[in-house]
């Protein structure tokens, strides 16, 4: 059976645009039907379209990703997933913005060692960036809860319920309507608070 090229695209939320990543896949000759897109967090690999693509992959196939942080954000998960795809399934991986992470070119022991080293470093950077984002988010939340964030009249306070609902909505896990229910807010108030909250992040 002829080997296939797969493209994997991930954006963090439903309102983010995946076109740039998709176009980079089409430019290198990947067919549209073989490009899989997920709109959710990169904290783990429990993503519907990624898992579907993975089940379709066979030995000799090649997976293209735009950058390592589009693949995932957790160092341990990235390394385990990389190993499973390359060692268990027998597929190759090409990271388009990092030529050293191209398993189709580095088959000798030195090349493999360099690729593994680069992967370790970059996956650590991806996870570190995610942790720094979460830290900034937490600092903004704590400041808002301590000082009280007011928006117009009547005042609106950022609550833990809003934060939890927002995070799930932003990650694509629930709809905006469901988030409003969880936060116990009306539509207008919810979107006003989203605007305020984003400025804190």
- Indicate if the pLDDT at residue 7 is higher than 70: yes
Looking at the fold, whether 86 and 158 belong to one and the same domain comes out as no
Looking at the fold, whether 24 and 108 belong to one and the same domain comes out as yes
43 burial via Cβ count (<10 Å: 0-12, 13-18, 19+) = middle
Looking at the fold, whether 34 and 73 belong to one and the same domain comes out as yes
State pTM to two decimals. Answer: 0.60
CATH of residue 65's domain is: 3.40.50.1390
Catalytic residue among 3, 12, 123, 189, which? 12
Looking at the fold, whether 152 and 195 belong to one and the same domain comes out as yes
Q: Do the domain assignments include residue 140?
A: no
**Domain tally for the chain?**
2
Interval 32-45: pLDDT, tens: 999 999 988 888 89
What is the per-residue pLDDT for 153? 42
Q: Known catalytic residue: 143?
A: no
**Which carries the bigger pLDDT value, residue 113 or residue 191?**
191
Please give the residue range of the domain that contains residue 194: 148-200
Q: DSSP per residue over 24-49, as a string?
A: HHHHTT--GGGEEEEES-SSSS--HH
**Mean pLDDT computed over every residue of the chain:** 81
């Amino acid at each position: 059976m002829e080997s296939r090229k797969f493209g994997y695209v991930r954006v963090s939320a439903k309102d983010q645009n995946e076109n740039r990543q998709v176009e980079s896949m089409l430019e290198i000759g990947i067919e549209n039907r073989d490009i899989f897109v997920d709109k959710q967090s990169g904290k783990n690999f429990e993503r519907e379209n990624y898992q579907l693509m993975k089940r379709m992959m066979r030995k000799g196939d090649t997976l293209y990703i735009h950058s390592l942080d589009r693949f995932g954000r957790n160092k341990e998960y990235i390394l385990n997933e990389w190993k499973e795809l390359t060692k268990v399934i027998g597929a190759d991986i090409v990271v388009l913005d990092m030529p050293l992470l191209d398993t189709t070119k580095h088959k000798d022991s030195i090349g493999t060692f360099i690729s593994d080293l680069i992967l370790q470093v970059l996956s650590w950077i991806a996870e570190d960036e995610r942790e720094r984002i979460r830290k900034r988010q937490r600092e903004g939340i704590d400041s808002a809860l301590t000082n009280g964030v007011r928006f117009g009249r009547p005042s609106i306070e950022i609550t833990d319920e809003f934060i939890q609902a927002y995070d799930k909505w932003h990650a694509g896990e629930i709809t905006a309507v469901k988030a409003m229910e969880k936060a116990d807010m009306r539509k207008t108030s919810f979107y006003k608070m989203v605007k305020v909250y984003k400025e804190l992040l």
